[in-house]
Structure 1
């Protein structure tokens, strides 16, 4: 029988500590081994309690959640699920936490209905986090790409579609800022994330990048040197216009999917308009979103890339795409930017 996941709950609020503990303790596969009220306390308790997962409040007095997370990752690399307030400031800090290495996050409840939502979400994310292999950056050795099909892009790349889920913000932070200002294609990023968090994600990437990065809006023009982040809660597709290809934001799409935005939906729409001029990239994440999209890109002679297992936080979406036979190249995270650049230099 599998041992229960050992969890250390960190929050400066006694009420939130109690709520989170009660939610987790109801699942027989989870054991709350202790709690901490601040950053210094959790850093003291981790080596003694040896948790499998830490739930960490983003906003704490003294050593805040981000400072504490950074020290956890440096001293005791282990999976962390952030607990965030659903505020503008909370969203920005959560995006920064994901970039620093937090596996995932949940938003704090603000009403009675939120408690019903939070319990199963928190349990699932804690259990998923327990299976994640967290390593210091220095432990990740460079690995070369694996080429399944050595074929050339059918035509000049006009659009790169990048899809990601768990671990995506940290991966994107290692890809997008390395692109040059004169990058010759448009980019659309589809990240599984709740509403309210895509704009902070886009703005954080924009701060660090040479290209323009922002949350996609209705009518945005796809153009070289611009990356658009698909807004949460809607699907991002495309339409032809006299001056090029523009973004359409829609609520429904003739494809069954539980994600909104969906990597499959955006890639299918991109393949329809850009054909062989579309490059598809699937990064770390749970599930199989992106398989049908990569298949559509491949069918129109575009090139497809999946992140290598060695650098994935969760090797779910890339594994599904590789096993479906719709991936041309498997590339570790530290080589993906270079691979994208080599395929767009035409």
Structure 2
């Protein structure tokens, strides 16, 4: 029985957090806590010794921080690592650095006296640990290369359709995947790009700034009233849902509180962004779904396909979590399925 359980190592300098995480995970019969560590040095040692299936890793720790520990673990004993991050600007920057160094995902450190906050943390921790435990182990920060297999006939039909804008959705593994995609698109790209990625409010602004510094396109967090412009990428703000509406000849961003769309579990919702963009553009758009857990994006892509738009999704081999792309593929709404390192080039090709 034990051999089938997910073996987890908990690394955190806070005794309270170690006990909180251990207490939550140990109650699940599918999970076995094989060890705890109080800092990065001990975390690296126990990762090598215990060979866990997954590690929960704090970022800020004495002796060796979580990012330094992560890099050593990925070099000496590659393991799935879930970062436990503070909901601050600095916490966001450290988290993105960790994801680029090979972490699978992150969970906001949001334990307080609030019963609701504790419940949210417990549920998110369990879901992300189980999903991360079944994901691919990252091998460094490079992108796995695979051959393009899409039939030429499909490509020709895609190019015949009109595109005026692009919508991209992602979740787990998305921060690194999106950077890979956008870095392949030139600054003179003729259309605007709208992105919805599941992130908390404190993370989307720093993430957009990070992308802007690493890509040729202009990238920033979206705000109410923004127009989708050529060569510009707008990242939907965390903590709210984003809708695109027709404004004269352009497309305008409108953000809404989560209470406006209670049917959506994930925030910001890819389905809401994609559906509204397809409606506002009358289907003259390209929809892209990248790696992520769950099925958010499927209904939006389905609506887009019915409107005559183009749909493209990431393949299983290069996805950290295959949930979102898989839902689109199995639902029959994916026109093309490509490895991550070819998606940016294909976006540029379709738009031209």
TM range (shorter): over 0.9
Contact 1:95 1:197 in 2 (8 A): no
SS of the residue 1:96 aligns to: helix
Stretches of structure 2 that go unaligned for 5 or more consecutive residues are none
Comparing 221-230 and 191-200, the one that deviates more: 191-200
1:202 aligned residue: 208
Give, in whole Å, the separation in 1 of the partners of 2:166 and 2:249. Answer: 19
Q: Tell me, yes or no, if structure 1 residue 231 matches structure 2 residue 234.
A: no
Give, in whole Å, the separation in 1 of the partners of 2:160 and 2:251. Answer: 19
Q: Tell me, yes or no, if structure 1 residue 127 matches structure 2 residue 104.
A: no
2:139 aligned residue: 136
Contact 1:166 1:285 in 2 (8 A): yes
Displacement after TM superposition at 1:255 (Å) = 8.6
Deviations 1:265-309 (A, max 9, x none): 111111112134210000111111111111122122221101000
Stretches of structure 1 that go unaligned for 5 or more consecutive residues are none
Give, in whole Å, the separation in 1 of the partners of 2:92 and 2:139. Answer: 25
1:18 aligned residue: 19
Give the 5 Å matches for 1:88-99: 88-99=89-100
1:180 aligned residue: 186
Give, in whole Å, the separation in 1 of the partners of 2:225 and 2:196. Answer: 17
Give, in whole Å, the separation in 2 of the partners of 1:175 and 1:237. Answer: 23
Give, in whole Å, the separation in 2 of the partners of 1:169 and 1:47. Answer: 27
Give, in whole Å, the separation in 1 of the partners of 2:60 and 2:35. Answer: 19
Displacement after TM superposition at 1:107 (Å) = 2.1
2:5 aligned residue: 4
Displacement after TM superposition at 1:37 (Å) = 2.0
Equivalent in 214, 217, 225 of residue 219 of structure 1: 225
Give, in whole Å, the separation in 1 of the partners of 2:272 and 2:286. Answer: 15
1:344 aligned residue: 351
Comparing 190-199 and 216-225, the one that deviates more: 190-199
Contact 1:100 1:170 in 2 (8 A): no
Equivalent in 299, 303, 310 of residue 303 of structure 1: 310
Deviations 1:38-66 (A, max 9, x none): 22222222121010100000112233212
2:339 aligned residue: 332
Q: Tell me, yes or no, if structure 1 residue 273 matches structure 2 residue 280.
A: yes
Displacement after TM superposition at 1:116 (Å) = 3.2
Give, in whole Å, the separation in 1 of the partners of 2:12 and 2:260. Answer: 40
Give, in whole Å, the separation in 2 of the partners of 1:139 and 1:238. Answer: 32
- With normalisation by structure 2, the TM-score equals 0.91
Displacement after TM superposition at 1:86 (Å) = 2.0
SS of the residue 1:310 aligns to: coil
Give, in whole Å, the separation in 2 of the partners of 1:282 and 1:299. Answer: 16
Q: Tell me, yes or no, if structure 1 residue 44 matches structure 2 residue 48.
A: no
| Closer, same or farther: CA 268–62 of 1 in aligned 2, 3 Å | same
Displacement after TM superposition at 1:343 (Å) = 0.4
Comparing 142-151 and 204-213, the one that deviates more: 142-151
- With normalisation by structure 1, the TM-score equals 0.93
| Closer, same or farther: CA 159–308 of 1 in aligned 2, 3 Å | same
Contact 2:143 2:341 in 1 (8 A): no
